A and B are shown apart, each in its own frame.
Chain A
Amino acid sequence: MRGYITRRVLATIPVLLVVAVFVFLLLRLTPGDPAAIIAGDTATDAQIAAIRHNLGLDQPIVVQFALWVGQLLHGNLGTSILSGKTVASLIADRAPPTIWLATITMVLTIVVAVPMGVLAAWRHKTWVDHLIMSLSVLGFSVPVFVIGYLLIGLFAVDLHWFPVQGYTPPSQDFWAFLQKMILPAITLASIYVALIARMTRASLLDVLGEDYVRTARAKGIAERKVLFRHALRNAAIPVMTVIGTGFALLISGVVVTESVFNIPGLGRLTVDAIFSRDYPTIQALILLTSGIYIAVNLLIDLSYTLLDPRIRY
């Protein structure tokens, strides 16, 4: 078991390395002088030369990569061109709203999607099933920002139930925070709910045909217990896997949702960085989100042994 964990953790290193190489090459393979790109349009020749020297661009490309990774391992993600602050401090400033949004969305998704999937599988081939599956296809197809504006139009503009946009930190005013988070969280959850409801249903349908489910029913166990204790536990692994791979959708969705709802989080930081052509920040954000994605999927892989005692490594 410990051997497996070690091997699984070590296996993420080549993947992280590939991500680092891509992010590094992205700037180097771009037509033009990376130093000039980093410096921006208004830089003088002297500034460009200084940046070139600082980045070690006069060195061979392999040495440049090693230097860059060395900096990363020391926690130095670079300096933002726009604000002159370190990228690490920018990310730390902007992280809390995004962490809140992602957490609320995750909780909302699992609370809504899993029962939806169970219901669809239980009432298989009835109107309930068809309705849930249709909603799921819609969730896949209607883009996050369209859903966001529909919700704003309906619940904020017409009904005045929620504020239109913005963010209040929970420490300042928890009630205002919650009110401003509900619509963005529903928006961001839409595609994720569709994905997980679909997977829960498919996985549960496979399990419901198993002998032990028939045995459990024959023994006269309450249907609720059959569904949630016998069937869902055995159907959990594919669902967990999809929660992990679907995390990439969540990350992309955050960027869009934050700009629709004007939330000053990491997604907005990304959009601001594009407009100001702030490459060190863009690079750092890609590295960070990829790292989080890899970590989430690692944790999910490791959780399989907890979910299913039959799995032994």
Chain B
Amino acid sequence: MASETTPIRARLRLPTHLLRPGGGGFGMVPMIASVVLALIVLAALFAPFITLHDPVQMSPAQRLKPPSAGFPLGTDAYGRDLMARVIYGARVSLIIGIGASICSVVIGLAIGLVSGFFRYADAVVMRIMDGLMAMPSVLLAIAIVSLVGPSIWTVMFAITIPEIPRVVRLVRSIVLAARDEPYVEAAIAAGTSLPRILWRHLMPNTFAPLSVQATYVCASAILTEAILSFLGAGVSTETPTWGNIMAEGRMYFLIKPELIFWPGLALSLCILSINLIGDAARDILDPRMARRKE
């Protein structure tokens, strides 16, 4: 009956309570972060339509020019349009961020499920993961890229490997806790096949924490890719990436700091917004952490 007495206007109200911090949904900050990230994704998708120049087209007459109508952010040392390069740079970062987070979550989930469920596999797998974690991720990625050769796939592979142990540890801890739950014991007693127990009964427990973890992996992968490019161990220098633009801009930093500033700003905003979305997702999905934050 109560619903009939509710004024119709109240039902049509915009969900503004979701914007307030602690309003049960996304707060203001994650909302802004989502908009920023969406803009970066759209810019990357529609890069050919919103840029004025080809990002790799050199024009020696236009070297290191200040911002103008033709070149909104000016040009680099080869006369290439800085704005086009920064926009195209988002593509590599996003592909690697998304690719590395999907790969490391899928591989880590498979290894973590097996490792958490089978005690005898656990000891060996966890020692391997400890070893992987002990190797500094940037150094390991540098070594892989310099050995296999610089391509976007090598870089993605090199970034995925060091991220796997963190996912494995998370999945394993969830499986270890869930393994002794009555519904899992009941499934075992009922003679459910092993793959089915892993797939139907244990895996769904990992989805919420894994989706949070995936955002952090994505941010970390984008950061590592930029570091690799910056150090000259990333995607080929012909491809415009934020790290590559900054690496080339280093020599001209004293005369044209914009070459470092703009790609650096884009990179920072991208990682910042992903991290903020991840934090918000964690607060919603993990009540224990949310309580601590309050």
Chain A residues with CB under 8 Å of chain B are 14-19, 21-23, 26-27, 30-31, 37, 125, 137-138, 140-146, 149-150, 152-153, 157, 164, 202, 205-206, 248, 251-252, 255-256, 259-260, 270-271, 274-275, 277, 279, 282-283, 285-286, 289-290, 293-294
Cross-chain contact B268 with A142 (CB below 8 angstroms): yes
Task: Say yes or no: B135 contacts A290, CB within 8 Å.
Answer: yes
Given A22-B135, A290-B135, does the pair A143, B143 have CB atoms closer than 8 Å?
no
In the assembled complex, the CB of A145 is this many whole angstroms from the nearest CB of chain B, namely 6
A149-B264 CB under 8 A given contacts A30-B147, A206-B292: yes
By a CB distance below 8 angstroms, the chain B residues around A153 are 253, 257
A282–B260 Cα gap in the complex (Å)?
28
7 contacts between A and B (CB under 8 A): A15-B130, A18-B131, A18-B132, A141-B268, A274-B142, A285-B139, A293-B136
The 8 closest A-B pairs by CB, nearest first: A18-B131, A141-B272, A252-B138, A146-B264, A251-B136, A290-B134, A141-B271, A142-B268
Contact A146:B148 (CB < 8 A) given known A18-B127, A248-B137, A256-B230 = no
Known: A18-B128, A137-B272, A206-B292. A294 touches B144 (CB 8 A): no
| B121 CB to nearest A CB, Å | 15
Complex interface: chain A residues within 8 A of B147 (CB): 26-27, 30, 37, 279
A149 touches B139 (CB 8 A): no
Interface majority SS (helix, strand, loop, mixed), chain A: helix
CA–CA, A202 and B289, complex, Å: 9
Name the CB-closest residue of B to A152.
B253
Q: Is B279 interfacial (CB-CB < 8 Å)?
A: yes
Q: Is B226's CB within 8 Å of the partner chain A?
A: yes
Interface residues of chain B: helix, strand, loop or mixed (majority) = helix
B275 near A141: Cβ-Cβ < 8 Å = yes
A149 contacts B127, CB within 8 Å?
no
Task: Report B-chain residues with C-beta under 8 Å of the C-beta of A290.
Answer: 131, 134-136
- Known contacts: A15-B130, A142-B272, A143-B267. The answer to whether A149 contacts B253 by CB under 8 A is yes
The residue in chain A whose Cβ has the minimal distance to the Cβ of B142 is: A274
Note all chain A residues with C-beta closer than 8 A to B227.
Answer: 143-145, 252, 255-256
Partner of A31, one of B143, B148, B265: B148
Determine the distance from Cα of A158 to Cα of B69 in the docked complex, in whole angstroms.
28
CB distance from B276 to the nearest CB of A (A): 7
A293 contacts across to B, CB distance below 8 A: 134-136
